[in-house]
Every structure is written in structure tokens, then in C-alpha cells.
Structure 1
Amino acid sequence: MNLTRLFPLACLAVLGLASCSKNSDTSKLEVRMTDAPGDFHQVVLDVRQIEVHLKEEQAKDGWKNLSFTPQTLNILEYVNGKSALLVKQDFAPGDLKEIRLVLGPDSYVIGRDDQRYDLKTPSGQTSGVKLKLDKTTLRDGETYQLLLDFDVAKSVVERGTWRPGNDRKERYLLKPVVRVITQEVRGGLSGTVAPAAARPQVLAIRSTILGPDTVSTSADASGAFQMGALPAGTYRVEFFPSTTAPTGQPAYRNVTRTGVVVTNDNVTNMGSIPLN
């Protein structure tokens, strides 16, 4: 995925898929959102507008609105290889410099205590959450997909001054952390865990010159997990059970697999991973 950007508010990814088109001077642009999970029942984003900045654009400051219908998204529904399609439209070939999300005032989380807490992102509601794109060129006849990989665990931050009994609206801040992935990134990981009841969080960690690059997901109710849009490389994959084993059964344990190789255009199947 790989250009990694942390934003002053708080995983987005980019995949390139070639497709045929009979129209000259026309490409297609898709914008999707997926999620790295966090410790909440729901994380709902109020997305009002999506824009891209064109390097050669002569219009006002270079920003162009995309054909997007304002909506709220519970991004925890889009894990384990799932993604929400936000934009799909014809687009003139050329370079893209940035993508920007403008958020409304109605973002919120439902915590593990089943309470609703408002999420405030002042800069995201005014100037927008800006995500830099590197070497992003739409070419004639291609479909280009921007996958916004939102990292919930890093993006939703509890106020240091919050105490139980305070106004629930003031507990959390939204400081989006989003991963951006270059066009050539098309690797993946998959596998299953046993027992499925352990429901682990799964981390894939790759060392880079900028530091560790970490992607996360969670195994589903059947024990399956999948990660897409991974850069080629060698990974350390860690499994952290989110539940405890029933009385009388072997305890669930954390498991680490090293030397897991990911290559472009392939999904590396890790097979079955025992967690007890």
C-alpha cells in the first residue's frame, strides 16, 4: 500500500487495476474505504464531500469534487477484505496530487459500554482531511482504485481529561490515521485460525526504512482472515485472541509467524494457525 501517512487527526490504500475502454481520453476512478479494527462496537463517519487535487488543474486551487453522495458509514463493517464503494466515475487521464475528505458534525462511536460518544474533528469539518498521493497517474483506458484504509485504533483518541461521569460527548476525538497505497501494490495474505472462537486480531508487520509498516484485521466467526493491498515483502504476522477459552479447554495464546513472504498479484495463504 505503499506510501504511509499519519495525519494530525488520526489506515487508505491505492490499487491499480487495468481495464479496457472504448472511449479515448477517459479513465475510471474508484474510491473505496476499508478499516483496521479498534475496540468499539461501531465507528460511524459522517462523510460530506470527497475531492481530488490535480497537479495541472487551472481551476480554483486545483481541487475537483467527485460524484459522491453524503452519507454516514460504520467503518467497522468493512474489515477482512471488505470495502465500501464511495465513488465510481469517469475521469480525465492525468496526475492526482491529493485526495481530501470533508467530514460533517455527526461522526460518533458506540463504545464497549454500549454508550454513544460524539467524535469531533474540527479540521476535518473545515479544510478536510488531506491525504497525499505519490506517483498517482490516471491513464487512458484504465480503472484506478483508491482504497482508504482507516486505522480505528490510532484514529479514535480518548481525551486525557475525560473521567467517568463527564459529558459523554466529550470523551473521544477523531484524529484520522489513513494508509495510502500506490498503484503497483497488489499482494495479500489469508488463512484461518483454530479455534475460530478465539476471534483474534491479526497484525502483518513489514520493516521499512521509515519504520514498521503495520496492517491489521480480525478473523471472522469462521476463523478466516484476509488482508489485501499489501506491498511485496517479508512480514511478521501476529495473532492476538480477543476472547478467553471456556473453562476446561486449553487457553488461547498469542502466536507469531515470521518470514511470511508476500508478492505482487498473489495472495499468500498461511493455512491453519492453531491458537491453543
Structure 2
Amino acid sequence: MKIKLFTIALFVVTVLVSCTDNDDKNSDYGRLSVNLTDAPFPHDLVAEANVTIFKIDARYKGEMDINSEVEDNSDASMTKEDKSSFVVLMEDEMEVNLLELTNGVTKNLVDLDVPVGIYDLVRVYVKGVNVVLTDGSTFDLKVPSGEQTGIKIFIKPGLVVEGGLSADLLLDFDVSKSFVAKGEGSTFENITGFNFKPVIKACNMSTAGTLSGKVTTLQEEVAVGLEGAQVAVFAADTLNTTTFTDADGKYMVMGLMAGSYDVEVELSTYQKESVTDIEIVAGNTTSQDFILVAGE
């Protein structure tokens, strides 16, 4: 009798566990995480590049076959009748100094459950944009429509959120292209202000990988990190992105689509170094170090 009761209890537990697992996989919601990073740029005169993000929403395209292609539709005003709608992801004010988000440092903006399906567009609403120079000078910048309609960032291919699973989206805010100095720009006296022309790239981290490493030179047979070296990443002879090494000579490029890349490293007074056919794997980090030799 005890054996029969134990068998029945075990069967019930097994059924409950199976149902729970099945419910997770078939859930109507999945987890969406959105992180912000910045492609660094070597501007010795700039101390801060600040923005206040106060809202983020995403265009929901519905529950599609994950193997089907998402249409490239630049019309962000589609309604529910068009089988699209916007899902609000965040409505809290968040002040960010973009210069702090370099070489792998990210700021989490969103982490919540959203309806399963495909999302192909994110709108980021910003205000309070300003640039602070290293001499303390501050320039307030006008936001061209970003405060009213949001900065539109297309996700190609669309980000798929599956039931009970997590999806990660990376927003790469290119400061060097977004904050354009007025005037000569080479000295404090020559900078008369900045134009704000936001350039942000969205990357699905489930289909992308990361490249990281260190740039050094040998001094008395000891490897010393080199700060400010430019690391240029090429795909099929076309420049994909650039970054710069930090004070320790380290660099990191996130959001590279899986595939083969060529990388060149340059720094004044040193000879250029390059490596070809570096393989980037989705969801993984590829390490590649460089040793620069002082030029003649």
C-alpha cells in the first residue's frame, strides 16, 4: 500500500513539474533587458556628455514566426489595426554621463517582462542634454524632436522575445558623432558650442559577440599598456566601428554581428599593427591582444 501511495505521489509531482516547465516555455511574456553603452572617442577637452532619458518604448510587431523576416518599415506611426503598437518600457528619469560608458561598461535602462513577439523599433526620449569641458565650461544643447517624438532606433533584424526566456538589446550611443563641436574645436577658446545629432545603434546581443583585448608595448621586456590607441574593426574591407584603449591599454567592442573581421591598431609614434580573420561568435567574447613597436 505504501508503495502504491509513493508511486501516485511521484506521478503527481512529475505532472506538476512538467506542467510548470511547459507553462514557462509557452508563457505569453518574456524578459527584455535594454542596456546603454558608448563608443568612446579621444577628446581631451570634454569631461562630460550628459543626457537625461525619461521614457523608452518599443514597437511591437506581434507574434510572428521567428524564422520569418521582419519588414523594414520606417513608418513609426503604425497602429494596432496595422498589427503594430508601442509598448512602454520605462518612464523614469535617468541621468547618464555617456563618457562613463566605455569599453564594456553599460547602464541598464530596462529589465521587465513584455509580451512575446518581435520588436523592430525603439524610441528613446531625452532632455537635459549638455556638454561639460575640462575647464568647467558647460554648453546646453537643443534636442531636435527627441523630447517630443523620441529618437528612433531601428532593430535589424527584429528582436524576438520568446515565452519564459530573456532577450538582451544593446544601445550603442556614438558620442563622437552625436556631439558635434562648433568652431575650430581644438582649444577651449575656439569651441563656441555643440550641436546634438544623436547617433544610436541597436544590437541584438543574442546574435552578436564581443571583441576585447589589450594594446601594449615592450619596455625593457616588460609589457606596458598604451592609452588612446585607436582600434578599428573592418568587415569585408568596410570600416564597421572604432574604439580607443583606456588608461591600462584595454579595449572592448560590443555588439559585433557573428562573422570574420580584420582589426587595425594605430597610435602616434608607433607602427600600425593589424590582424585579419578574427572570428566573432554570437553570445561569446573573442580576445585579441596587440603589441605595438615604436616607430623610427
1:115 matched to 2:137: yes
Q: How far, CA to CA, are the matches of 2:124 and 2:164 in structure 1?
A: 26
Instruction: Tell me which residue corresponds to 2:115.
Output: 92
Which stretch of structure 1 is more off in the superposition, 66-75 or 111-120? 111-120
Aligned residue pair count: 243
Instruction: Tell me which residue corresponds to 1:79.
Output: 102
SS in 1 for 2:176: helix
Q: How far, CA to CA, are the matches of 1:165 and 1:271 in structure 2?
A: 39
Offset from partner CA, 1:150-202 (integer Å, 9 cap, x none): 11111112346999879x7x611111111222354232212211132443232
Q: How far, CA to CA, are the matches of 1:33 and 1:221 in structure 2?
A: 22
Instruction: Tell me which residue corresponds to 2:54.
Output: 48
Q: How far, CA to CA, are the matches of 1:113 and 1:252 in structure 2?
A: 30
Q: How far, CA to CA, are the matches of 1:268 and 1:165 in structure 2?
A: 43
Instruction: Tell me which residue corresponds to 1:66.
Output: 89
The CA deviation at 1:274 is 2.3
The CA deviation at 1:31 is 1.0
Contact 1:230–1:262 (CA under 8 A) maintained in structure 2: yes
What TM-score do you get using the length of structure 1 for normalisation? 0.76
Offset from partner CA, 1:6-64 (integer Å, 9 cap, x none): xxxxxxxxxxxxxx958822201111100101223211111111111222473998222
Instruction: Tell me which residue corresponds to 1:144.
Output: 167
The CA deviation at 1:127 is 1.0
1:258 matched to 2:243: no
Instruction: Tell me which residue corresponds to 2:215.
Output: 193
User: Using a 3 Å threshold, how does the CA distance of structure 1 residues 116 and 253 change in structure 2: closer, same or farther?
Assistant: farther
Instruction: Tell me which residue corresponds to 1:221.
Output: 247
Contact 2:215–2:245 (CA under 8 A) maintained in structure 1: yes
SS in 2 for 1:76: helix
Q: Which amino acid aligns with 1:126?
A: Q
Q: Which amino acid aligns with 2:228?
A: R
User: Using a 3 Å threshold, how does the CA distance of structure 1 residues 95 and 232 change in structure 2: closer, same or farther?
Assistant: closer
Q: Which amino acid aligns with 1:207?
A: A
SS in 1 for 2:247: coil
User: Using a 3 Å threshold, how does the CA distance of structure 1 residues 75 and 187 change in structure 2: closer, same or farther?
Assistant: same
What TM-score do you get using the length of structure 2 for normalisation? 0.71
Contact 1:198–1:252 (CA under 8 A) maintained in structure 2: no
User: Using a 3 Å threshold, how does the CA distance of structure 1 residues 274 and 144 change in structure 2: closer, same or farther?
Assistant: same
Q: Of 38, 47, 60, which aligns to 1:35?
A: 38
Instruction: Tell me which residue corresponds to 1:14.
Output: none
Unaligned runs of 5+ in 1: 1-19, 245-250
Sequence identity percentage: 29
